[in-house]
Amino acid sequence: MKLRTYLVKRTIHMIITVLIVLVLLFVLFRMMPGSAAAGMMMNPRMTQNEIDLVLVRYGFGRWSDYPGEYTMVNYNPQMIGRYSVTVQAVDDAGQADSFSTYFDVNAPEDVDYVAPTVTDVGLTSAAIGAKADFYLIAHDEGAIRSVEATILCPNLVLDGGVPVLFTETFPLVPVSNMSDEANRTFYYSGSTPTVLSMGAGGSSDFQISFNVLDRSRNVATAAVEFDGVTGTETAKLWGLSADIPSSNYIYSYPLVNQAVSLSANVNGGTPSFSMVMSDQTTTQAITAMTGTVNYTGAYTATENGILSFIVEIGNLSASLPVVVNSVSVMPAPIEDDDSTSPVLSNLIVMSLNADGVEVVSPEYPFPLSNLRLRINATALNSKGVRCDDITVTIVSPNGAVITSRLTHPTYVEMRTMAEQFVIYMKTMLVFDFGTSYMYQRSTWEVIIERIPSTMLLFGSAMIVSYILGILIGVVVAWRRGTVMEMGTIVVTLFFYSMPIFWFALIMQWVFYAQLGWFPLGGMGGNDPVTGAPLQGLDWYLNVLHHLVMPLITLVVLGLAGTILLMRAAMLEVMGEDFTITAKAKGLKERTVVYKHVARNAMLPVVTSMAMSIGGIISGGVLTETIFSWYGMGTLLIEGTLSKDFPVVQGAFYIMALLTIIGNMGADILYAWLDPRVQL
């Protein structure tokens, strides 16, 4: 048979063999009782969503829609107030329809939304050409996180080539000996970072605003206006507060249509009072505030959310957040009022627990703490089939708009064994082993990185051990009955019976611990002093230096078996008729040994070599582990110990392919060594 014909037929046989191997691997790794096969693919730390992704990724299951004509979206509100929800659907004919609902979110009574109260603020000293000093006293039931001041000066500076008023922000620091921790009153002081300067046209009017942030990140503000020449205050706003009763950190927040008492301290002019709604655009004037320095009054909110109490004198302003809760009941599911396609129905907002399951009787209005909501809606086209183009628009209390596509709720439906088999075969034939759990990369990429180092070590060891083993086996067999044969057999059997891990440890003890000739392990390639990567010839020499001990270990232990096998085959062939005929012809002894006897005796050795190719990975586990060689052996043991299933499966597949290719190479060598063997 011609070599080309043989290669074609052998390739067909190899493909069939690979398919059989894949079937066996599928039976081994997939056809297990219950969910054991799928369990092998899982990392114990995976969430349910990650488990579902793995089941679909490796062909165990598929994404399927839950029954029912509805869509949903998970939403996490971040603010207090009323949210509007609008769902719009477009059917296959391009017709659109929409409808709206709302939901309210309240401040939980056990969460602090009460801003600090600035009980006093003022100017300590100020003069042109010197820094200005300030103080601030604030009260809060919790604690003050920080106090920051921003001063607006009359002098001009250039900002991008444009003259603007000079602004500077700086912190005030706490003064512990002037604070009253028992009564939760805290004293702060600070100075401007730079000295005061006169403004254009001789102006000396300075304005400074203070932001007080408490532990719950509620902010209150105060403001002071002063003359930099005289060092006196000309106007001041402070003490903004709202009467929100509390006891043991439980707060009674005001409700919609319920009056809340307000107060503020004003000095230096006639103030104006207003309330800004949560959308930050609508403002309502408060006319019921009375007083001279200490102004008091009440305000009845008509909507819920975080409102802003604003006090102004001229250009000075101060603000205070005021939380107002809703008392509304949960809206009923919205139903479409016509039959025109698309037909919308069952628009409802529901609360979810931590596991994503609907709360049957939720607290409403929804408390903001750890709030998760689901928006469900049904949208059918003219044929009664669910519309695919459905969007939801959510407008937050502050006016922010979020638009999102509604998605169909899905779950993982397990595939049949036949479907799993088809997907498994497709992925394995293209070397798609999945993603390594340990490296979080493609398993094939991880394996490709390790193959060169394994081929370097075990390829070199195989070539050297078989060449030496064949030559020594020939000599030992030809010198049968001599002291040389007996001594070789004894030494060979000694090394043949020695465990590889024991011999490797002896090598390390002798050549590293005692003589210091070779490094303990690793692959090298880096400078031993600096750790920097080596280049060129230095890199190759360093890698070879690290290669010596593991290579000697494999060669010595692999050499023993080859010598014994070659000797036995030689002794058998030496008794054949063609050997006796060759001697009778008067051929030289060397010719008879190497051309006739050794060539035919190598057939069993070739078989052994072909079979050992597949054992490169599994046989390298101990050697590579002991010598810390970065190859397939260490990858296989790391994958096994960490339950990295994709890596282990990929390594087994590569081992099977190497064995098949080795057998094909052995058949070709058979025909070349022995003319009696036909391809």
- By the 8 A CB rule, do 496 and 560 touch? yes
Of the pLDDT bands very low, low, confident and very high (cuts 50, 70, 90), residue 320 is: very high
Q: Measured in whole angstroms, how far is the alpha carbon of residue 230 from the centre of its chain?
A: 61
365: which 2 tokens? Answer: 């209005």
Residues 554-568 have a mean pLDDT of 74
Q: 177-195, pLDDT tens digit by residue? A: 999 988 999 999 999 999 9
| Residue 85, CA atoms < 13 Å, CB-side half-sphere | 25
Q: So what's the pLDDT on residue 623?
A: 76
Residues shown for the chain: 679
E-assigned strands of 192-315? Answer: 205-214, 219-227, 232-242, 246-247, 250-251, 259-267, 272-276, 283-285, 294-300, 305-313
Residue of 561, 548, 459 whose CA lies nearest to 508: 548
- Measured CA to CA, the distance from residue 348 to residue 12 in angstroms comes to 62
pLDDT above 60 (res 607): yes
pLDDT above 80 (res 619): no
- By the 8 A CB rule, do 127 and 228 touch? yes
- Measured CA to CA, the distance from residue 73 to residue 86 in angstroms comes to 13
Amino acid symbol at 598: A
DSSP lists the bridge partners of residue 146 as: 213
- Measured CA to CA, the distance from residue 314 to residue 272 in angstroms comes to 9
Measured over the CA atoms of residue 330, residue 332, residue 334 and residue 337, the dihedral's sign is negative
**DSSP assignment, residue 415?**
P
Q: 332-382, pLDDT tens digit by residue? A: 888 887 778 888 888 899 998 887 788 888 899 999 988 899 898 888 888
DSSP lists the bridge partners of residue 255 as: 325
Q: So what's the pLDDT on residue 401?
A: 93
- Measured CA to CA, the distance from residue 83 to residue 441 in angstroms comes to 42
Q: Measured in whole angstroms, how far is the alpha carbon of residue 466 from the centre of its chain?
A: 48
More confident site: 175 or 474: 175
| Residue 467, CA atoms < 13 Å, CB-side half-sphere | 6
- By the 8 A CB rule, do 409 and 358 touch? no
More confident site: 224 or 507: 224
Q: So what's the pLDDT on residue 45?
A: 67
Does residue 100 come out as left (phi exceeding 0), alpha (psi in the -120 to 50 range) or beta?
Answer: beta
Q: So what's the pLDDT on residue 514?
A: 79
Residues with Cβ within 8 Å of residue 146, at least 6 apart in sequence: 171, 212, 213
More confident site: 164 or 667: 164
For 163-167, 401-405, 421-425, 593-597, which range has the lowest pLDDT when averaged over its residues?
593-597
pLDDT above 60 (res 32): no
- Measured CA to CA, the distance from residue 55 to residue 38 in angstroms comes to 7
What is the residue whose two structure tokens read 């920080």?
A: 146
Do β-strands 96-106 and 366-367 pair in parallel, antiparallel, or remain unpaired? parallel
List alpha helices for 194-292, DSSP H.
none
Q: Write down the mean pLDDT value for the chain.
A: 81
CA distances for 541 relative to 293, 523, 538, angstroms: 88, 11, 5
Q: 194-205, pLDDT tens digit by residue? A: 999 998 788 999
Residues 646, 650, 655: CA angle, nearest 5 degrees? 150
Measured over the CA atoms of residue 194, residue 199, residue 202 and residue 207, the dihedral's sign is negative
**DSSP assignment, residue 201?**
G
Residues with Cβ within 8 Å of residue 430, at least 6 apart in sequence: none
More confident site: 43 or 298: 298
179: which 2 tokens? Answer: 């604070």
DSSP lists the bridge partners of residue 147 as: 172, 212
Q: So what's the pLDDT on residue 43?
A: 62
- Measured CA to CA, the distance from residue 503 to residue 497 in angstroms comes to 10
449: which 2 tokens? Answer: 């990185």
Q: So what's the pLDDT on residue 16?
A: 78
Q: 627-674, pLDDT tens digit by residue? A: 777 777 777 777 777 777 777 777 777 777 777 776 666 666 656 655
For 204-213, 252-261, 399-408, which range has the lowest pLDDT when averaged over its residues?
399-408
Of the pLDDT bands very low, low, confident and very high (cuts 50, 70, 90), residue 396 is: very high
Q: What is the DSSP code string of 515-584?
A: S--S-SSS---B-TTT-PBP-HHHHHHHHHHHHHHHHHHHHHHHHHHHHHHHHHHHHHHTTSHHHHHHHH
Of the pLDDT bands very low, low, confident and very high (cuts 50, 70, 90), residue 116 is: very high
Residues 464-477 have a mean pLDDT of 77
- Measured CA to CA, the distance from residue 187 to residue 349 in angstroms comes to 47
- Measured CA to CA, the distance from residue 129 to residue 196 in angstroms comes to 5
- Measured CA to CA, the distance from residue 141 to residue 354 in angstroms comes to 31
- By the 8 A CB rule, do 313 and 270 touch? yes
- Measured CA to CA, the distance from residue 224 to residue 240 in angstroms comes to 14
Do β-strands 250-251 and 246-247 pair in parallel, antiparallel, or remain unpaired? antiparallel
Q: So what's the pLDDT on residue 34?
A: 44
- Measured CA to CA, the distance from residue 224 to residue 192 in angstroms comes to 14
- By the 8 A CB rule, do 347 and 85 touch? yes
Q: 420-456, pLDDT tens digit by residue? A: 778 878 877 777 777 777 777 777 888 887 777 777 7
Using only C-alpha atoms, what is the Rg of the chain? 42
pLDDT above 80 (res 595): no
Residue of 282, 275, 268 whose CA lies nearest to 313: 268
Residue of 636, 638, 475, 634 whose CA lies nearest to 567: 475
- By the 8 A CB rule, do 566 and 601 touch? yes
Q: What percent of the chain has pLDDT over 90?
A: 33
Q: 298-318, pLDDT tens digit by residue? A: 999 989 999 999 999 999 999
61: which 2 tokens? Answer: 């299951």
Q: So what's the pLDDT on residue 26?
A: 72
Residues 537-566 have a mean pLDDT of 76
590 — phi, psi (to 5°)?
A: -65, -40
Task: End-to-end CA distance of the chain: give it in Å, rounded.
Answer: 6
Q: 479-515, pLDDT tens digit by residue? A: 776 777 677 777 777 777 777 777 778 877 887 787 8
CA distances for 34 relative to 23, 39, 46, 160, 575, angstroms: 19, 9, 20, 71, 59
89 — phi, psi (to 5°)?
A: -125, 145
- Measured CA to CA, the distance from residue 255 to residue 300 in angstroms comes to 9
Q: 571-580, pLDDT tens digit by residue? A: 766 656 566 5
Of the pLDDT bands very low, low, confident and very high (cuts 50, 70, 90), residue 152 is: very high
Q: Measured in whole angstroms, how far is the alpha carbon of residue 270 from the centre of its chain?
A: 58
More confident site: 151 or 93: 151
The angle that helices 500-508 and 616-626 make with each other, rounded to 10 degrees, is 30
At 511 the three-state DSSP class reads helix
pTM: 0.58
